[in-house]
Amino acid sequence: MSQNGGPDLFSRRAMILSSLGGLYFAVLGLRMAQLQIFENEEFRLEAAENQFNLLVNPASRGPVYDRFGVPLAVNRRDFRVSVMREDVDDLPTTIKALASILRLPPEKAEGSLNEAKISPRFMPSMVAENLSWEEYSRVSVYAASFPGVRCEMGEARNYPLAESMAHVLGYVAKANDKDVAADPQARHPGIRVGKEGIEKSQEKGLKGVHGATKLEVNAHGRVIREVVDPRLNPKSGTPIVLTIDAEIQQVAYDQFQAKDKRPVEAGSAVVMDIHTGELLALVSAPSFDPNKFVDGISRTDFNEYNNAEMRPLYHKAVRGIYPPGSTYKMVTALAALEAGITDPEETVNCPGFYMLGNHRFHCHARRGHGSVNLHTAIKVSCDVYFYEMGRRIGGDKMAQVAREFGFGQRFDLGIPGIAASHVPDNAWKVKNRGKPWQVYDSLNVAIGQGLIAATPLQLAVMTARIASEGKAVVPRLIREGPGAAPFTPFKQLPFNYQHMHLVHEGMIAVSNEAGGTGRGDLGIEGVRMAGKTGTAQVRRITMAERRTGVRSNASLPWRQRDHALFVCYAPAEAPKYCCALVVDHGGGGGAAAAPRAREIMRATLLKDPSSKPAFTTRAKTADLAPPADGTPPGDGKA
């Protein structure tokens, strides 16, 4: 051994270096094993992604049909021209050339250019769509001269009935930022998303499953070839069948259109099958053309819709909230009978007004109706009779009966935006108005004014529940497909059959007896209709105006006129269909609403042969012998 320990020192250094070298190679080996074995699948997929690009291939949107298979929302051929920014050498020049060939307006060309600049490089950007065959042929001739330009035939949504079905179906339109955040595929220019109605609420089922086109690319991102992969084929959306009858829907919509000297009216109509709850018509007028939204509505058209006084974009049938007016008097009548505070023979004298303290509540008949009982009060719609009943019953009891008839409920039809309205009672008024219930509240609510409010859909449900002699009818809109629910039998409401029958007789008198406020013939031999008119005030009539004479609706600005309402069902003796109709600011229910409802009911009944035989009149109330608990004899069917 040397003095400096040379051989031992060398051995220690060699050992340390060898250990470090071994450790290095061990780490290197572990890293290689991690990359080649443990993370092999991840990097293989990344390499595949670098080699192939997937271009979204939109699925065919599911069609929507009426109950008889009439197309309501379908797909049409759409000729389009788009550009792929990645493949275009000079984007502004290419867009300018295409605009010249297609004769696009300057603002359209500029918009297409701006959109192409911000679109993803491998996503087509639309230059023009909904082209005619001539336009498409013309641009196809030159397409080969412009790299990145794609001429293709796709699909676009089409609504054959346009305005009459617009509020039920809604519409589709280009995706906004919120839509893209929820579904990045919606960014594709050929994809439209549902914005209102059935199109929005059933978007998941209708849109189907989008596919993809697999493109092999080189290291520079250039497309080499298209790879066929059946697993990437799109899957079409699921068809939907509605309960709507397209013919009845159109008849109902036409009742609000200009005819002879009659102007266009605003309002809504609901037609329902009493036994199933299926909606045959759900109309809101005036309406809009949903086809204008598919490719992007112009600012001029949108402003015209949005600023129109009659609110064509608003679905009045399910969102409109109105005082029910005298159509509510059936609720008051039944509440009075159920509470035992009156009987069918009791009479109330109507001198044309009702005194509460020193305040005078007027009847619509200025000279009064004289002595009236329940039957006559419904027939002539005597306010004084129902003021007295309202005073006796109170708000809480009327509210209880109103809820059983569907007021205050939000019915799930499978479309968005359905309103619930409210049913006022003492608790509601304290919570919402900070004041307790007063007697004058009962008087106002008893005739369908004051704090009470309802939607046309709720009025139709009320009518169906009365016509079915107390079945808790629930409305349905979707018959088959996404959103459809199985039919379940309706429960029986807790009302005495004799009391329900008295209300029936009053409604039959409204449409068929002399003095009835909605008297009129259906025009079908052997078939009668039962109904109830309603006129709902939207402005306060001052005492000074009452002394000098109440101004007529015709002399008032449109928004200050009364709403006209009518609810009905037929055949009166064996009810099958009901209708609720509201004419916004239309004036009197008997003059403005009842004739339109009769036309709708007539068309509905004429389509159903089972509704046309002659019927025997219902037994008089005195001849009935219901069970002690007041339930209907037999199965309780009307």
CB distance 231 to 80 below 8 Å? no
The count of other CB atoms within 10 Å of the CB of residue 53 is: 17
Identify residue 94 by its one-letter amino acid code: T
Using alpha carbons, select from 466, 433, 463 the residue that is nearest to residue 450.
Answer: 433
Phi-psi region of 95 (alpha: psi -120 to 50; beta: other; left: phi over 0): alpha
Q: How far is CA 456 from CA 44, 302, 334, 355, in A?
A: 61, 26, 20, 32
The conformation of residue 116, written as its DSSP 8-state character, comes to H
Q: How many residues does the chain have?
A: 638
The count of other CB atoms within 10 Å of the CB of residue 451 is: 19
Question: Is 371 a residue of the active site?
Answer: no
**Within 13 A of 99's CA, how many CA atoms are on the CB side?**
16
User: In the β-sheet with 577-583, what is the strand arrangement from edge to edge?
Assistant: 279-285, 267-273, 577-583, 563-570, 530-536
Q: How far is CA 311 from CA 77, 285, 288, 315, in A?
A: 32, 8, 10, 9
Using alpha carbons, select from 193, 229, 215 the residue that is nearest to residue 50.
Answer: 215
The count of other CB atoms within 10 Å of the CB of residue 93 is: 11
Structure-token pair, residue 551: 């101004």
Identify residue 492 by its one-letter amino acid code: Q
Using alpha carbons, select from 443, 411, 437, 435 the residue that is nearest to residue 424.
Answer: 437
Structure-token pair, residue 539: 């402005």
Q: Helix (H, G, I), strand (E, B), or coil: what is residue 418? A: coil
Phi, psi of 465 (to 5 degrees): -70, -35
Catalytic residue among 287, 326, 381, 468: 326
d(CA 32, CA 21) in angstroms, rounded, equals: 16
Count Cβ atoms within 10 A of the Cβ of residue 468 and give its class: 0-12 exposed, 13-18 middle, 19 or more buried: buried
Which ranges constitute the DSSP H helices of 368-425?
A: 374-380, 383-393, 395-404
d(CA 457, CA 331) in angstroms, rounded, equals: 16
Structure-token pair, residue 496: 């005495």
How does 585-600 read in b/e, with b if 16+ C-beta sit within 10 Å?
bbbbbbbbbbebbbbb
Phi, psi of 624 (to 5 degrees): -80, 145
The conformation of residue 83, written as its DSSP 8-state character, comes to E
DSSP H or E segment with residue 578: strand 577-583
Residues assigned a catalytic role:
326
